[in-house]
Each structure stands twice: as C-alpha cells, then as structure tokens.
Structure 1
Amino acid sequence: MRVVGALLMREILTRYGRHNVGFLWIFFEPMMFTLGVLALWTATKATHGSALPVTSFAVTGYSSVLMWRNCANRCALAILPNQSLLYHRNVRVIDLFMARVLLEIAGATMSFVFLTAFFVTVGLMQPPQDITLVLGGWIHLAVFGSSVGFIVGALSERTETAERIWHTMAYLLFPLSGALFMVEWMPAKFQKIILLLPMVHGTEMLRGGYFGTLVKAHYDVGYMITCDLILMFIGLFLVNDASKRVEPE
C-alpha cells in the first residue's frame, strides 16, 4: 500500500504538476469532457430517442465510458517510462498499473459525484432512485476497466501494436457501450448481442439505479461478476508474465 501510494503521488505530480489547480485536474479533465458533450447535445437540441432528461442521460452515460476507457488508456505503455523504478526492490510492475488505475477511478468517480450533486442542486437532475444499483454498476465498471487496463498494459510491453489496436477498439466500442442508448430501445434480436459486452451491463445497472421505474434496465449480475473475474485473471496472468521479463533479477 505504501508503494502504490507513493507511485500515486508521483503520478499526480508528473502528470498535473504543482501549478494552477494542480491535482484538481484529476476530476476536472473527465468533468470537462462530460460537460462538453452535454453542452453540444443541448445546443443542437439533440435527442436520444426517449423522454429521459438529456442532462441525466449524458452524465450517467459519458461518466461510465470515461471510467473503463481511461483506465485502459493510461495503462498502455506504462512500463517503459517507469522502468527505472523497477530497480527499487519493493516496486513491481503491478504497482505501476495499480497507481494509474486508482488515479483514473478516483478522477472519474469525483467527476461523476460532483456533476450529479451540482445538477441536482440547480434542478437539472433528480437524485438517484436506488443508490445501491448505482454503486453496483460503478464498481463493475471500475473492476472491468482495471482488468482491461492490466491486459492492455501488459500486452503493450510486448509490442506497441497492442496499444494502437486498443485505441481503435475503444473508438469502436464507444457507440456500443450503452452510453448513447438503453438496451430496451433496441430490436429484440440485437439485445442479446449487445449484452455480450460487459460494460453495457454496468451502464444499464447504473441507469437503472438512477432512473428507477422510468426505464427497464437489462443487466445480469452473474454475467458481470463472471466477466470481471475472467478478465482480471487474464490481466494478472499477463502482468505476471511481463514482470518476469522487465523486472531486474
């Protein structure tokens, strides 16, 4: 815990520095992205195919995307610039990934909580109907993002192609992640296909907890846990394999 904590502070200082608002950029960055999308939707009077409030729909959707996407993005090619740290006996490859993943989870969480509290206060959003479901969906997205981050980070140590492939996949997965739609709005024959993606279950659970009876959320807790365990096992296996090649004897 001390090692990860030290790496976390080092990551904050090297990424955001001590000037201006400093570490507050941890949640300013994801918050600005979500606000930008929300402003664009509002300015163009865009609709998302339902009577659900645009503000609530955008905040819950884009915050969930930032959670899993940023975790994986930050872990990609994370070993090389920090390889000198591995000469310290207590620093392991998994610690490098853990520090980056925790930083992204903290930033996305603070951004989501702040935006929700702010918009509820000014009357543009209603409070969540079931906070337990919201937390369950958020935790799933955090674990899913961490697992994918471990996989992408470990594979990118083998070849930079892995990082390039992931960025392409992230762009393709974004419109399929559930951020722009609810599964219930899709034709029945496509619902089973789209529910194969683990992040869709997390977004559906998050919105089910937020909107309550206003929506019919499609998610399977058993499937979510199974996917998280399998992906985490694969991620840890690959990280262990990467450690054997890059950590000094």
Structure 2
Amino acid sequence: MSSEDFAPPARPTAATKRSFPGARAIGALILREMATSYGRSPGGYLWAILEPIGGIVVMTLVFSAFLRSPGLGEIFPMFYATGMLPFVMYTGLQGKIASALNFSKPLLAYPTVTFVDAIFGRFILDVMTQLLVSYIIFGGIMLIYETRTTLDFPLIFESFALAALLGLGLGTLTCYVFTRFPLAQRAWGIITRPLFIISCIFYLFDTIPEPYRSYLWYNPLVHVVGLMREGFYPEYDAYYVSRVYILGISLVSLTLGLLLLRRYHAELMHR
C-alpha cells in the first residue's frame, strides 16, 4: 500500500462548500414560494390550472361565434391552447423573476442566500407549475375532442424551453430595472400590454399582410408560438421561426441582468 492510501481527504473547494448551501437555499425558497403563492387561497394549485382553462373556454366561445374554423386544425380549444400556454409560460416567469428581489428581500440578509438563489427558486417552481398545467390542459383537450393532431415532442419541449429561457432572461434584467427604478414597472406594464394581441395567439403569422408581418417578426413570442404549433400540426411550416434570435435576446438579457445585479444588489437591498 502506498502512502497515498493514507492521505487525508482533500479539503472542500469553495465551489463544493457553496453547492450544498445553495441547493438548500433554493429548496427553501421554493417551499416558501409554494406556501405564499398557492397556500393562502382555497384551492391553491387548482387555481393555477383553472385560470388558463377558463381563458381557453371563454376565447373558444367568443371566436367560435364569429369564425367557422380555427387557423389550424378543426377545433378552437387546441388552436388557442398552443398559442396561449407558451405565452403564459413566458409572462408568468418574467413577472415572477422580475419581483424576486423584493419578494425575498428579508431572506437575502442571510449570507447563505443570494439573489441567484431567489431568481432560480422562482424559475424552477414556475417552470414546473406551467409544465404541469400545460400537460393537464393539452391532455384534457385531447381526451374530450378528436383533435387529429400529431405531437412532435422535441418541438413542443423546445418551444417551452425557449419560452422559459426568454422569461428567465428578460425577468432577470427587469428584476434589476424594476428594483432600481420602481416606476419602470408601470411603464413596462403599459408597453407590454398589447403582447397578448400581437403574439399570434388567435391567428397565424402567415395571415398578416406586409409590411406588418415584418414588424411582427421582431416579437420573440411569435417564434415561440409558431414552434409550438408546428409541434402539434405537422402540416404547418413555421418557416419564420429563428431560434438564434430568441436565444440572442434571452442570453444577452440574462447576462446583462446578472452583471447589473451582481454589481448593485447590495445597494438595491437597502433601498
């Protein structure tokens, strides 16, 4: 036996020391988020499912009264679900992450909890919630109706992943902006209010005449929705989708947001 067999164990590195407290902090923040967001109202998680279901039902009733058939397929609920659920994935994440610092400010006073933990705690919980809601809604529609859709799971998961990454990126950037400039949150709400109309939830990108179609292309949610619909309707060719464009916006926003929060998070905590 060599002397190496009796050597003392290597001293834990800084990364090793940080990993377990970081994981525990994120887990605790997720549990706190679940308790505060879904545990205070009767029904809890049930409302997270009923809200998008109610939106699909209402829109189905309204638009089926004026249109004979949806843009794709034969039933309105599936067509609107393929547009609304990736949209809700993005908006839910962006809004949750944007308020992560203010929501977790009391816990950020502890040295083992960082702003990264607060952001990723909310990100993980909301992604899991939205995926569960989407699974229930898509599954329910397919059980109730004869949708005649062919699911392309790689495209569907890619659409959800890009929506989640976009929400994480813009949410992290707006987390700094909203905390530093509180009035910016109201301005953001006004600016982004038309997103529900201009994200191709109720219609197809191909049906928009020029030059408005070219302007609409710069809305990254149009690409996310188009990818989702291509995953459900094999006859639909979302030729306009640019994954590089979505990744560019998401990663640049995420990087800039993390750099700003790292530089100013201590100052923001005392505002």
TM-score (norm 1): 0.87
**1:75 aligns to what?**
97
How many residues matched? Answer: 247
Distance 1:171 1:182 in 2: 20
**2:154 aligns to what?**
132
Q: Is the 8 A contact 1:61 1:179 kept in 2?
A: yes
Q: Is the 8 A contact 2:227 2:238 kept in 1?
A: no
Q: Is the 8 A contact 2:200 2:222 kept in 1?
A: yes
Q: Is the 8 A contact 1:60 1:206 kept in 2?
A: yes
Max Rg structure: 2
Relative distance call for 1:87 and 1:220 in structure 2 (3 A) is same
**1:50 aligns to what?**
71
Q: Which amino acid aligns with 1:162?
A: A
Structure 2 unaligned spans of 5+ = 1-22
Q: Is the 8 A contact 1:105 1:142 kept in 2?
A: yes
C-alpha distance after superposition, 1:61-88 (max 9, x if no partner): 1112211111122233432342111121
1:193 and 2:215 equivalent? yes
**2:12 aligns to what?**
none
Q: Is the 8 A contact 1:48 1:181 kept in 2?
A: no
2:203 aligned counterpart, secondary structure: coil
Relative distance call for 1:39 and 1:54 in structure 2 (3 A) is same
Q: Is the 8 A contact 2:99 2:175 kept in 1?
A: yes
Q: Is the 8 A contact 1:31 1:111 kept in 2?
A: no
Q: 1:178 aligns with which of 170, 180, 200?
A: 200
Distance 1:36 1:5 in 2: 36
Relative distance call for 1:51 and 1:11 in structure 2 (3 A) is closer
Q: Which sits farther off after the overlay, 220-229 or 156-165?
A: 220-229
1:105 and 2:142 equivalent? no
Q: Is the 8 A contact 1:184 1:218 kept in 2?
A: no
Q: Which amino acid aligns with 1:148?
A: L
Q: Which sits farther off after the overlay, 27-36 or 193-202?
A: 27-36
Q: Which sits farther off after the overlay, 104-113 or 200-209?
A: 104-113
Distance 2:249 2:30 in 1: 27
**1:3 aligns to what?**
25
Q: Percent identity?
A: 20
1:221 and 2:228 equivalent? no
**1:116 aligns to what?**
138
Displacement after TM superposition at 1:117 (Å) = 0.7
Q: Which has the higher helix share?
A: 1
1:59 and 2:81 equivalent? yes
C-alpha distance after superposition, 1:195-227 (max 9, x if no partner): 112111111111111111145552022222222
**2:227 aligns to what?**
205
Distance 1:35 1:107 in 2: 20
Q: Is the 8 A contact 2:173 2:256 kept in 1?
A: yes
Displacement after TM superposition at 1:247 (Å) = 5.3
Relative distance call for 1:107 and 1:34 in structure 2 (3 A) is farther
Distance 2:108 2:51 in 1: 29
Q: RMSD value over aligned CA atoms? A: 2.4
Distance 1:51 1:200 in 2: 16
**1:141 aligns to what?**
163
1:21 and 2:50 equivalent? no
**1:152 aligns to what?**
174
1:178 aligned counterpart, secondary structure: coil
**1:233 aligns to what?**
255
Structure 1 unaligned spans of 5+ = none
Q: Is the 8 A contact 1:129 1:210 kept in 2?
A: yes
Relative distance call for 1:135 and 1:3 in structure 2 (3 A) is same
1:163 and 2:185 equivalent? yes
Q: Which amino acid aligns with 1:172?
A: P
Q: Which sits farther off after the overlay, 45-54 or 186-195?
A: 45-54
TM-score (norm 2): 0.81
